[in-house]
Structure 1
């Protein structure tokens, strides 16, 4: 999502509006098919189409309630609000102001790892920036230079240190949303300035982090839903370095319907078909309200979508304007979310066995 600069001094998260091409922007069928075909994806309507529907089930779920250690108790409080629901997924982010942030604060990582280790069904999802400073309006030309430096190995040591810390603290099975929302324009770790270099850099980071003994990280490729600034298929780095095909999905643009979010170019349907062709689960690390106010229909349809597809996990973004527990702006949506999720026992992880196998 469009998060403000994460700093330890200011743990509050402020909304940053993303410019560029918004989700739902019309794209002709010819343009769409050409883009999809150029990335070795069969265009919509080509046979055979992969099977994507699953029997209705509960996916492991949680919420983003904050990035630092003092937010961890909020998970328990939200679970109590949901009638004792089993919130299995903790979602947090590394700040991206400097390379020390990317290496991870050992106290914060340690406390999150303790939360994870307290219950074997839990998963920690960690947003990891690929470049710094990550929210500083860095121009495209500078992004290109940074990607080139990354591909020369100049930043390897930082990701190696992060991986070693996670393993040492018991977080060797962390799910990493590396370079999330790369198809947009908000973050320095965006793909559009040089897609070829971006994919090579992702591959390099994954290789470095997988070199650490004891790791069995899951790497989650998580674009924004829709076209945004570049088709996310052009940023996909390869099946061997991606474990989960994620998507951040908010109810935007204004006036959009859930059916449009499913069928739009590079939307929900394209995501689940892309993943199914590769034998990979999907995820929704960020979802919630955004452009259409209190929208209970979006909440109902989104939860149903996640329950009827091969969803590894889902975490709602729970602060205003997106959320349902910490935000009082969405009373009808909050009531629907609570009705749907109260008492949930959680779900069996679709990637647990693969994670246990390691690499």
Structure 2
């Protein structure tokens, strides 16, 4: 989804959050500040709430709404407008680093663009030329600087969602114009970031669900430079029903099978509602899929039209999400105990 949309959504989302605080009802429960039951072997629950300090602050508020359920995955994005921002210039990174380091079992998940002008509508021919330059090492120094900044902030174990949704049509870091050089470029970035002393990064390969502009398997750069097989998946065609989303070519099942074949954990860095509106059945089925397949982490995109807490237009889905995860009763369901939880009626 558009990074620009995420930034613009923040203003609207903050109004919703303020309204919820004023009403008081949704945020009445105090979260647990001490160590919880979650461990690294369990699914880390997260949400994209806003890219800056507001996103950090809202993690606690969302946890309250969920009755104290611990959010272990903090998720944000680096802007792809300039190389300076891709190098980690945004002043919100220290806030996210402090959030990560407040508890040893937290994950900091950072989406990192591979090229500047990432949402500028750069045509395929120019993209191909940029990918060739990247594959030849022209941009290595930008990613070393990012790695040095993250290590310096005390988050050397950041999960890097590099070049997300690369199988799509939109981003300048898309794969379709030159898949072979795209893969070489990914390898150069990972090599550059791993060259920094003290790093422990994990690199998450996260395409869109489905074939989109190009089958995502054609973009896979190799097991030695990928640590996690992710997928961004929203409730939209192709795949109006959840079963179709699972079984379509390059869908959810193929992601799980591919990850198992390559001995990698899975993740869902972005997921949520979209073109099918307030759809509690989708929300139930996606949460049940997560419970069954136990990704390393998942992060719902929580602004309109995708979200549940900061988006009042999806009340039925919000109820499902909250009941599934709230008050640690949902915690048990989220890690596999789902047999007695009924699917919502249409």
Relative to the length of structure 1, the TM-score reads: 0.81
Size of the aligned set, in residue pairs, is: 304
Check the 8 A contact 1:60/1:87 in 2, yes or no: yes
Root mean square deviation, CA, Å: 2.0
1:204 is aligned to 2:188? yes
Q: Which runs of 5 or more residues in structure 2 are unaligned?
A: 13-40, 333-346
Deviation at 1:69, TM superposition (A): 2.1
- Residues 11 and 103 (structure 1 numbering): CA distance in 2 closer, same or farther, change over 3 Å? farther
Q: Does 1:2 align with 2:8?
A: no
Distance 1:122 1:346, change over 3 A: farther
- Name the residue aligned to 2:126: 142
1:40 matched to which residue of 2?
Answer: none
Q: Extract structure 1 runs of 4+ deviating beyond 4 A.
A: none
Q: Are 1:158 and 2:142 counterparts?
A: yes
Match of 1:248 in 2: 232
Report if aligned partners of 2:6, 2:50 keep a CA contact under 8 Å in 1.
Answer: no
- Could you tell me how far apart the structure 2 residues matched to 1:284 and 1:304 are? 13
CA distance in 2, matches of 1:11, 1:239: 35
Q: Does 1:320 pair with 2:304?
A: yes
2:94 is the alignment partner of 1:102? no
Structure 1 residues 62, 201: closer, same or farther in 2, change over 3 A? same
Alignment partner, residue 36 of structure 1: none
Deviations 1:176-230 (A, max 9, x none): 1000000001100000000000000000000000001110101000000011010
Flag the structure with more relative contact order, 1 or 2, with Cα contacts below 8 A and sequence separation at least 6.
Answer: 1
Asked whether the 8 Å contact 1:61–1:346 carries over to 2, the reply is: no
Change (3 A) 1:254 1:294: farther
Tell whether the 8 Å contact from 2:272 to 2:301 is kept in structure 1 after alignment: yes
Q: Within 5 Å, which residues of 2 pair with 1:246-285?
A: 246-253=230-237, 256-285=240-269
Contact kept, 8 Å, 2:164 with 2:205, in 1: the verdict is: yes
Length-normalised TM-score, structure 2: 0.84
Structure 1, unaligned runs of 5 or more? 15-56, 348-359
> In 2, are the aligned partners of 1:86 and 1:346 still within 8 Å (CA)?
no
Spell out, residue by residue over 1:293-329, the C-alpha distance to the aligned partner (whole angstroms, 9 max, x if none): 1000111111111111141100000000000000001
Q: CA deviation at 1:111?
A: 1.3
Closer, same or farther: CA 5–205 of 1 in aligned 2, 3 Å: farther
1:168 aligned onto 2:152: yes
Q: Deviations over 1:12-32 (max 9, x none)?
A: 489xxxxxxxxxxxxxxxxxx
CA–CA distance in 1 between the matches of 2:201 and 2:291?
Answer: 24
Query: 2: distance between equivalents of 1:154 and 1:12?
Result: 34
Relative to 1, partners in 2 of residues 1:133 and 1:232: Cα closer, same or farther, differing over 3 Å?
same
1:289 to 2:273 alignment: yes
C-alpha deviation, 1:70, in angstroms: 2.8
1:346 offset after TM fit, Å? 6.3
Deviation at 1:149, TM superposition (A): 1.2
| C-alpha contact (below 8 Å) 1:324/1:333 kept by paired residues | yes
By percentage of residues, which structure has more helix?
A: 2
Residue in 2 that maps onto 1:33: none
